[in-house]
Amino acid sequence: MGWWAAEFGFPVVAHACAVEAVDRCLQGLSIDTGRMAENLDRTKGRIMAESLTMALARDTGRPAAQAIVEELSRRAEATGASVMDVARADSRITAHLEPRDLRRILDPSSYLGSTDALITRALEAFQARRSSGARS
C-alpha cells in the first residue's frame, strides 16, 4: 500500500463500518407514536420544563425562570398534578403567560428545544473545517 492508504484508507474504512453498523441498527426500528405519546403523558408535562423556562425567562430572566420552573416541577411531581395545572395556579407564571400560551409551550409536539442552534453549530463547524482544507 502507498502512503495514501495510511492517510486515507483507515478513515474511509472506519466511516464505512460505522455507517454499516448504524444501518443494521436502524433496519429493525419502528416508530410507535402511540407509545411515544403514552411516555410523554407519563411525565405530566415535566419533560417540557425547558420550554416553559425559556418562555418565562423572556420576562423574568433565566435564573429566576429556572428556579420557578424547578419548583413547579417538583410540586407537580410531589402532588401528582400536571405541570399545566400547577402553572395555571401559580401567579408567577400567569403574570407573564396566558393560558393559550401555556398550552402551546407545554405541547411536546411543537417544541424542538435547541435543535436549530445545534444544527447551525454543526453546519458552521463543517463549513469551517471544509474551507480550512482539513480532512475528516
- pLDDT, one tens digit per residue, over 71-123 is 999 999 999 999 999 999 999 999 999 999 999 999 988 777 677 888 888 88
Spatial separation of the C-alpha atoms in residues 36 and 62, rounded to whole Å: 29
Please state, in angstroms and rounded to a whole number, the distance separating the CA atoms of residues 71 and 98: 20
Single-letter code of the amino acid located at 132: S
- The pLDDT of residue 128 is 84
**Per-residue pLDDT tens for 17-73?**
777 888 888 888 888 989 988 998 899 999 999 999 999 999 999 999 999 999 999
Domains of the chain (ranges, CATH numbers):
38-115 (1.10.40.30)
Cell of 127: 463549513
Residue 105 phi/psi, 5-degree rounding, is -65, -35
Q: Are 59 and 98 in contact (CB under 8 A)?
A: no
Nearest to 73 by CA among 45, 112, 102: 45
What's residue 134's pLDDT?
A: 55
DSSP-assigned states of every residue in 21-32: HHHHHHHT----
Residue 133 pLDDT grade (very low, low, confident, very high; cuts 50, 70, 90):
low
Q: Report pLDDT for 27.
A: 86
